[in-house]
Amino acid sequence: MQVNFMDEIKKLPIVVRYELLKQVRRFRLYGLLLIGSVATGLAMALGAVYLPSIGTLDARALSYFIVYGGQVSFFGLIAGVFVSGDAIASEFEHKTGYLIFPNPMKRTTLLIGKYLSCCIAATLVVTMPYLIISIGVLALTGQFVGELFLSYAFCVLYTCSIVSLTFVFSSLFKGTMGASVLPFLLMFFVFPIIAGSMELGGVEPFMLLSYSGSIISNIFIIPFPPHKVSIPISVGGTIYMEVTYFYPDVVEGVSIMVCYLVVGLILSILLARRRQMA
């Protein structure tokens, strides 16, 4: 049994290598890199123009401006979904499973190999904006903020969680389209609706991945935003309603991401192992 396990471990880097080769050969990876770079460059230019007018062009403010305003976490989302949406589903949709499944290798090994390669490719996409931010901020302010590393680490973790979530849909759906569209629907519509409703009701949406993503930009804020902020707002005349906003702290944010990463990966493996090419 141990010999079999070692055999599978040896096959893992082989799967990662060739799955990564497939990613590198696709135009979408370069498209994502280009879009991420252009958007980050644009956010940096806007920051350089607007921040001096409010007297705050320092490294921390500019980094926050670009990461928050440039929606760097958004690239984590699109990178995660675009590189992994078809990872499993396409084996069934395009029938390449007939080539890869009848090999002396556990399906779990194949899936973990695919997962790692998708994470590497998606991480590459989010690395580019951070490289641009680091160089740009240093060039414009002559300073560098250590939180940029933390923000990058959170963004990579967030991206890998997105890959896990997408893998669940990819192992569930036959078509790559459904596997790619559903994570977007969840992150853009379903989760925000749930989060908004829960916050209005004064309940923390701690179970949502989109909620955890705010630590990527909030890490630049000193002091770190309080966990709970309640603001009374007028809803007509003297009638006031208390609206509560929640901000996850670093530990909570990281925990949510890790949960999505682990549970999503395990669930996708279980689903894909049961799936048959009828």
Least distance to other proteins, CB of residue 272, Å? 13
Q: Choose among 158, 127, 166, 149: nearest CA to 32.
A: 127
- Cβ proximity to other proteins, 21 vs 45, nearer residue: 21
State how far the Cα of 46 lies from the Cα of 135, in Å rounded to an integer: 16
- Cβ proximity to other proteins, 7 vs 242, nearer residue: 7
Contact present, 57 and 48 (Cβ < 8 Å) = yes
- Cβ proximity to other proteins, 19 vs 147, nearer residue: 19
Least distance to other proteins, CB of residue 209, Å? 30
Least distance to other proteins, CB of residue 19, Å? 9
- Cβ proximity to other proteins, 238 vs 276, nearer residue: 276
CA quadruple 101, 102, 108, 112: dihedral positive or negative?
Answer: negative
Question: Which positions touch other proteins (CB under 8 A)?
Answer: 4, 7-8, 11, 14-15, 18, 21-22, 25-26, 94-99, 101-106, 276-278
Least distance to other proteins, CB of residue 211, Å? 36
Contact present, 78 and 231 (Cβ < 8 Å) = no
Least distance to other proteins, CB of residue 97, Å? 7
- Tell the residue number behind the tokens 């590459």, with chain if given: 124
- Cβ proximity to other proteins, 20 vs 257, nearer residue: 20
Least distance to other proteins, CB of residue 14, Å? 5
- Cβ proximity to other proteins, 17 vs 228, nearer residue: 17
State how far the Cα of 57 lies from the Cα of 65, in Å rounded to an integer: 10
Across 34-64, b (16+ Cβ under 10 Å) vs e yields: ebbbebbbebbeebbeebeeeeebebbbbbb
Q: Name residues whose C-beta falls within 8 Å of residue 153's C-beta, 6 or more positions apart in sequence.
A: none
